[in-house]
Structure 1
Amino acid sequence: MDLFRSMQVFVATVEKGSMSAAAAQLGISSAMVGQHIAALEVRMKTRLLNRTTRRQSLTDFGANYFEQCKDILDRIAITDLEAEAQQSEALGKLRVTAPSTFGATVLMPALARYREESPLVDLDIVLTDRNVDLVDEGFDFAFRIGVPPDSRLIARKLMPYTMAICAAPCYLSVKGQPAHPVDLSAHDMVSFTPAAGSVLTLSKGEELVKVMPNCPIKVNSGHALLTSALAGLGVVVQPKILLAAAIKEGALVELFPDWQLGERHVSLLYYRDQRMTPRMRSFISFSLAAFG
């Protein structure tokens, strides 16, 4: 087996605490992880790990070998980065995560422009509404709504993320159109699952209104909320970027457009100690130009 790859597998197994966790991180099977470690043990003529059905631990030699492997892999990674930094053209792979609605509606269409500018960069895009840990989960960038209090990350403020309240004409013809935000408490709302049960706070000048909506239906997808609203299932609160086309076409009616739901911003996050390679710089420049 490839010695370099086996060393990577061994380090991941120790750092993650199990072969299955290392396999998930590396995208290989647990059996393959075992084969890599077995190959190292044959090469070294000694055991590296003490393994039972419940836990694993390093042997004395394994602990020393682990530190040496980490040092070797770190040196190789630094050399690779330095070699890439000398190149003027962005190349390699970027792993990026973004919220599902923003990613599908705004980011993905814009990536055509980035691909034109940086055709040698491969993109691995993960759309999820979970706040992933960039460092632990191996992401180069994350788009987030708002700025998380994480001192390890740099946050570049991008476009506003404005919310809107909408319902379909067919729903309003049956339930009636609310005249004031307080009337929302008498209406059915199809809620985004993470926000279900939250109080809606609306403001207009000096007036502030808090409403606890009735949420008989919850769903964890912004696009599913859009189709739910279009089908007349109830009122939805979603980003304007998702609802704008339906509002323009008259398929949805925006409620209380002169009231504010509180404005947040999209931010581009990246690890503070990340080395600025050409591909990193190219993606930051693209994001600021496209969404800034």
Structure 2
Amino acid sequence: MKLNLESTVQLNNGVDMPRLGLGVWRSDNATASQSVRWALKHGYKAIDTAKQYGNEAGVGDGLTKGLAENGLKRDDVFLTTKIFNGDQGYDSTIAAFEGQLKRLQTTYVDLVLIHWPVTDKYNETWRALEDLYRAGKIRAIGVSNFDIQRLRDLMKHASIKPVINQMEFNPLEQETDIKDYCNRHNIQLEAWSPLGHGDALKNPQIKKIADKYGKTTAQVIIRWELQRGINTIPKSTHEEFIKENANVYDFSLTDDDMNLMNSLNLDKRSIWYGDFQWSGNPDGGVDTVDQWEK
């Protein structure tokens, strides 16, 4: 089937999720609101945020305004957020989620992820998400930044399988082992940092492929991820780039070009568990929550 901006993947609980969406990491609330409105204007059907980003209120504002501006309904847009590291645990997750709903100006969220596997807390956090899912406040539940060891442990304790594992994924970091594991267990892989922190955008081999198709390196990378079966959420705060990032459906990469892109994998994760203060202090090293830029 030919891909387009309306293309979805069916998650393992039967919910359909758009393949391409907008990410808003490192956007303040005002910028996130405007970016969401531009994304909806240009046909995006998925938005990804997190409490840790400090911009859920901005996303909620942009979603409410963008729906009205484009004649859309809430169920036309697939909204993802994540459980903040400092909120992890059963009771604290349940309590914090009500605040997330208010900031997002919605009565439900399509997908909620455990943002990071906080040691000794993520299984209780998952139990809370299962109950919120059963209560109809969440349409699908998943994880982010879980390696194979932690995925195995979660599924050993879970009664509901994760639908998503959102990982760093781009041509230079392809998470081959985790992708294979997720494929075997029918867990959809989704890419954060899909453009490789900008490093992949400057890669001369990708630039050569982009020139061949008359596309930007960002468009080639996004197309490669879609053809790999990866969901992707590129971030931009500029309307022209938000529009450009979705203009990836009028070409297909050849097998040779796909293989070349696959060969660029360095298998070197730029961020991992030992780097984070939350390994011992879940509140350490996180962004300020809910601050509109003055």
Q: TM-score higher than 0.5 here? A: no
Structure holding more strand per residue: 1
- Give the greater-gyration-radius structure (CA): 1
What TM-score does the superposition give when structure 1 sets the normalisation length?
0.22
What TM-score does the superposition give when structure 2 sets the normalisation length?
0.22
